[in-house]
Amino acid sequence: MKIAVFGKEFGDANIDFIRIFFNKLKKVGIRPMVFKEFHEFLTSKQIDVHDPLFFKTHIDLAENADCLFSIGGDGTFLNTLGLVRDSEIPVVGINTGRLGFLSSIPKEEVESAVDEILNGNYTIDKRSLLKLEASEEGLFGNISYALNELTIHKQDSSSMIITHVFLNDEFLNSYWSDGLIISTPTGSTAYSLSCGGPIMTPASGNFIINPVAPHNLNVRPVVIPDDTTITVKVESRHERFLVSLDSRSETIESSVELKIRKEDFKLSLIRLNNQDFLTTLRNKLMWGLDKRN
């Protein structure tokens, strides 16, 4: 198996773990392909990667890898979207961050995780993406899609914005709020959850429309089928507002109309056979710690 490795800068507390990971790859005869900038950082930390290959673009990755290891937290995992794109190369997340819904494998289990993957003891989960189409061309370049959510935010900290939302061109509501989240099932445990949104299982086939700090308290999140085209028009006292796709943001003119729909391809995520979403949910949200459970 040809393994690629992506990561970002990390603290000294993770140095020993990273060494264990690359030593494990060497032990099982894997010559890894490492993201070039990540390798430069590893070198600065005096971590030996044992004669690696390198990749810098999604083309390098698509031509030379069977799977991609993401080393970091969920933010690092989200950054792999721009490298994997529509190649269907599966991603496995090793968690060196905090919560880790996407990077679900604890760093302490990395050696056994490598063995399980090499032995084929895993399942591929297909995760839906949402795609942004805007009346202004060129927004977000060739990566105009998100795994977790699209978020619309006011640009400053003063007045609210109004987001007029249409579902398949039929008017839904005008939200007076600080912003609006449109979330996938994967993103239901991210920003949307912190704003009072529901949790959805990954294969639910839905989107969540969730206002951020709405002015009208009777406004609540709405769950809709993911074959719906969502149109958003923004009204504001200011000329510009912010749009984010996962962790990537751009400032957009208030005259720009946004259309959000399900992307034509999905992200492939490696799930070890001893893992499942419901167990991850209970563990990450610490359900069951109450003695009544």
Q: Hey, which residues are catalytic here?
A: 74
Taking the C-alpha atoms of residue 76 and residue 91, their distance in angstroms, rounded to an integer, is: 11
Helical packing angle, 110-118 and 15-27, nearest 10°: 30
Q: How many CB atoms lie within 10 A of CB 217?
A: 6
For 131-190, the three-class secondary structure string (H helix, E strand, C coil) is EEEECCCCCCCCCCEECCEEEEEECCCCCCEEEEEEECCEEEEEEEECEEEEECCHHHHC
Query: What φ, ψ does residue 78 adopt, rounded to 5°?
Result: -60, -30
Query: What φ, ψ does residue 62 adopt, rounded to 5°?
Result: -60, -30
In the block, which residue shows the tokens 């140095």?
A: 15
